[in-house]
Chains A and B, each alone.
Chain A
Amino acid sequence: MVHKKTGALALVAALLMSTSAFAQQRLVTWNADYDPIPLAAAEAMITDFEAANPDIDVQLTNFDHEGYKTSIRNFLTADAPDLANWYAANRMRPFVEAGLFADISDLWASEGLNDSLASSVLSMTIDGKQWGIPYTYYQWGIYYNRDAYKAAGIEAPGADGMTWEQFLANCATFKAAGIDCVTTGSSALWPVAGIFDYVSMRTNGYQFHSDLAAGKVSWTSPEARAVFAELGKLQPFVTENHAAIDWQDAAAIFVQNKAANYVMGNFAVGVFKEGGMTNDNLGFMVFPEITAGVARAEEAPTDTVHLTSGAKNPEDAKKFLAYVASAEAQTKWNAAVGQLPTNKNSTVDAADPFLSAGFASLSSATGGIAQFWDRDAEAEYAKAGMEGFQRFLVQPEALEEILTQLEATRLRLYPQ
């Protein structure tokens, strides 16, 4: 049975109702923060699970999306549900370190999840143990405009994408043809973090990037400088005045064939298509390899469900988690929501080339799945980083000042 209400009062009411009317069933409580479409998908998932497990009653209490980010800090200590939604990697670290999420490595082992959820193992592991179940993500990568490539006389990328040298060489050709090689709209800051994350992971690999986001390594280290060196090669070819426009303005530039490539998440496809692009002229490729031999990591913000350490019914909660991790449940949920299942044995709609390409890209990413800079890095540090990335793309000559300020912020937030 599912109750959709918001707030603490509703939670109490729901609990009272359930315990009185369904005393025979064992209860599992779940706090979530879904928008309407994912909420319907979650309800369907609960219905399917309860059909297979008639003696368990899963009760979902839905919170407003923004308010949840503050509410969770309260309810995990005050009145913990069995299951709670959250995010992976460094974003779940504070709750793991505070002992509020439960270690479910045993579930991962017994269900074979280290294999079926292989791409997400790194992002769900802290101190060698696993702390939640990832069930959905969406890919980031380079979306490109075939018509723009044609207009500049450049061959569109093939199934294997292209090399970094080729990409940069193309950029010079695009610029000569008056087309932006890469477009972005940085006034909200986060879009440029996508570009930085990829350059960083392709230059130094997932682990260094994750440490950088966690404040563990220095911005003035040779590896960090290498990232900015590579980013600097791209800088002259980014849309001018990106600091004054938003990502949707940049999407308009992309759709109007004035830009060739756009580092974005899959949610942008809807916007591109509304602007008139079709599967014929819109393409997707993974970000080129920069340092040879670095295991390919991808950016894919992941949504997760966690067993709380204050759970009253951990046994049945784990059964539900196992269901959430299963291929069938994930196929169904993600088909309804339009995102990608984390289970490599799930299937995606073969008719959607972007979902298929994304699924292939993520499931085979052996280097790890990054969660995006503003989730991998803690809030204040994330903002300082993004401002630095934006500034570098506007004033690359200010690199030393940018690195010094970022380093000062790092030492203030993470005293050594």
Chain B
Amino acid sequence: MAQASDVNFAAPVHRPKAQWNQRTIAPWLFLAPGLFMFAVYVLWPIVQSITLSLYDWNGLYNKDGAFTGTFIGMGNYAELMTDPAFEVSLWNNFYWLALYLLALPAGLFIAIFLNQTVRGIRLYKSLFFFPFVISQVVVGLMFAWFYAPNFGLFYLLTEWITGKGTAILADPDLVTFGIIAAGLWPQIAYVMILYLTGLNNVAPDQIEAARLDGAKGWKMLWYVVLPQLRPATFIAVIVTVIGALRSFDLVSIMTSGGPFGSSRILSYYMYEKALSEYGFRMGYGAAIAVVLFAIMMVFISGFIWKMWRDEKER
């Protein structure tokens, strides 16, 4: 059946003029409201933030309504270079990114584990997916309880194994990893669902053919199944990378960046500097946001480029 994607938009078409006009204007009319909102709330603020990062501003306007910031050029960025909290945040973001990718093999493994047709498997799949549906605030509170010193299950477990309880959220060297573990819980669930759907659509004839050839287990997975899971893997990588770099809620609710800033990440540091009780340095915060944005743009551009190539192939 012909689909919109089959139509060659570039080919010249002959139509009466009135129709031509209607069909030229129509897309813009349809696009207008959405595009307007998006431009106002997403595109323009990006430009504004970049500009703001060149100023020193405390968020106030004077009584005439005029902007009270002072232009300092690259001053904020120069300060970032020597800011130890910024360095800690960068490192933590790196750990988030690297460790979050563990969600892919974990999600794949669970998907394979659940990809059977026994009775009640649908319920199991739904329940395994559960952590993704709840808010990250709730996930954070659950894990804060899990890690709590003196009575938290994790603390008691470490006490039982090593004789001395480890309060992960109090240890500056371990705290980031404890929070990342909390974040992986819903992320693995998300990746699991992606792979479950992907597995559902793996071509059965290829599997049969490979089985006849004697392939099984790891070989089957690596040479036959994974290549067919490529679209699912692509999406999984996108959401995992984006999720790792954008994470904010867990750090905010579990440690507020502590102890003494050891679990800070760029997204939370920006919020601290711009908006929290102890800061109103909007320009400096904007500079941190620009750095985070630049880092993410590297990945976003990569994803868009790949998606564009896929579109062209269609």
Interface residues of chain A: helix, strand, loop or mixed (majority): helix
- In the docked arrangement, what's the CA distance between A379 and B149, Å? 30
User: Within 8 Å of chain B (Cβ to Cβ): is A78?
Assistant: yes
A394 close to B277 (CB less than 8 A) = no
B260 within 8 A of A: yes
Stretch at the interface among B3-11, B128-136, B166-174, B223-231: B166-174
Given contacts A245-B149, A390-B259, A394-B172, are A380 and B281 in contact (CB under 8 A)? yes
With contacts A243-B170, A379-B277 known, is A387 near B261, CB below 8 A? yes
Tell yes or no: A19 within 8 A of B by CB: no
Residues from 234 to 268 in A contacting B, C-beta threshold 8 Å: 240-245
Q: Select one of A242, A245, A379, A390 contacting B279, CB under 8 A.
A: A379
CB distance from B294 to the nearest CB of A (A): 24
A73-B60, A241-B149, A243-B170 are contacts. A383–B279 as well, Cβ < 8 Å?
yes
The answer on a CB contact under 8 Å between A187 and B259 is: yes
Q: How far is the CA of A134 from the CA of B64 in the complex (A)?
A: 33
Complex contact B258–A390 (CB within 8 A): yes
Shortest Cβ gap from A114 to chain B (Å) = 34
Residues on A with beta carbons closer than 8 Å to the beta carbon of B278: 374, 379-380, 382-383
Interfacial chain B residues near A78, Cβ < 8 Å: 63
Q: For A374, list chain B residues within 8 Å (CB).
A: 278
Which B172-200 residues have a C-beta within 8 angstroms of A?
Answer: 172
- 1/0 per residue A359-398: CB within 8 Å of B? 0000000000000001000011011000110110011000
Q: Verify B259–A391 contact, CB threshold 8 A.
A: yes
Q: How far is the CB of A41 from chain B (nearest CB, A)?
A: 26
Q: Which of B42-94 contact A (CB under 8 A)?
A: 60, 62-63, 79, 84
- Interface size counted on chain A using CB atoms at 8 A: 27
- Map CB proximity to A onto B266-278 as digits: 1 under 8 Å, 0 otherwise: 0000000000011
Residue pair A394, B256 in contact (C-beta under 8 Å): no
With A77-B63, A395-B172, A405-B84 given, is the CB distance from A243 to B277 under 8 Å? no
When A and B form their complex, what is the total count of cross-chain residue pairs whose Cβ atoms lie within 8 Å? 67
Question: Are B63 and A391 in contact, with the CB atoms below 8 A?
Answer: no
Determine how close the nearest CB of chain B comes to the CB of A163; give it in whole angstroms. 31
Contacts of B279 in A (CB 8 A): 379-380, 383
Q: A245: nearest residue on chain B (CB-CB)?
A: B149
Q: Does B280 contact A (CB under 8 A)?
A: yes
Q: Which of B149, B169, B280 has the most CB of A within 10 A?
A: B149
Is the Cβ of B170 less than 8 Å from the Cβ of A394?
A: yes
B149 contacts A187, C-beta separation under 8 Å: no
**Cα–Cα, bound, A26→B156 (Å):** 68
Is there an interface contact between B258 and A241, defined as CB atoms closer than 8 Å? no
Residue among A74, A77, A394, A405 making CB contact with B259, cutoff 8 Å: A394
Tell me which residues from 229 to 260 in chain B have a Cβ below 8 Å from any Cβ of chain A: 255-256, 258-260
> How far apart are A260's CB and chain B's nearest CB, in angstroms?
17
What separation, in Å, do the CA atoms of A380 and B284 have in the docked complex?
A: 12
How close is A374's CB to chain B, nearest CB, in angstroms? 8
Q: Is the CB of B260 within 8 A of A387?
A: yes
Q: How far is the CA of A387 from the CA of B62 in the complex (A)?
A: 32
**Complex Cα spacing A241 to B258, Å:** 12
- Point out the residue from B149, B260, B281 that lies within 8 Å of A394, measured CB to CB: B260
Question: Is B114 positioned at the interface, with any CB of A under 8 Å from its CB?
Answer: no
Contact with B along A58-84 (1 / 0, CB 8 A): 000000000000000110011000000
- Cβ contacts under 8 Å, B291 to chain A: none
B106 within 8 A of A: no
Q: Render A396-416 as a binary contact track against B, CB cut-off 8 A, 1 for contact.
A: 000000000100000010000
B126 CB → nearest A CB, Å: 34
B258 touches A243 (CB 8 A): yes
Q: Select the residue from B147, B172, B259, B281 with max chain A CB neighbours within 10 A.
A: B259
Residues of B bordering A, CB below 8 Å: 60, 62-63, 79, 84, 147-150, 167-170, 172, 255-256, 258-261, 277-281
8 A-B pairs with least C-beta separation: A244-B170, A243-B259, A383-B278, A241-B167, A391-B260, A241-B170, A244-B169, A387-B260
A-B contact pairs, 27 of them (CB 8 A): A73-B60, A74-B63, A187-B169, A187-B258, A188-B256, A189-B258, A241-B150, A241-B170, A243-B169, A243-B170, A243-B172, A243-B258, A244-B147, A244-B148, A244-B170, A245-B149, A245-B170, A379-B278, A379-B280, A380-B278, A380-B279, A382-B278, A387-B260, A391-B260, A394-B170, A394-B260, A395-B172
Q: Which residues of A contact B (CB under 8 A)?
A: 73-74, 77-78, 186-189, 240-245, 374, 379-380, 382-383, 387-388, 390-391, 394-395, 405, 412
**New contact pairs (16) apart from A78-B63, A187-B255, A383-B278, CB-CB < 8 Å:** A77-B62, A240-B149, A243-B259, A244-B148, A244-B169, A244-B255, A245-B148, A245-B149, A374-B278, A379-B278, A379-B279, A380-B278, A382-B278, A390-B259, A394-B260, A412-B79
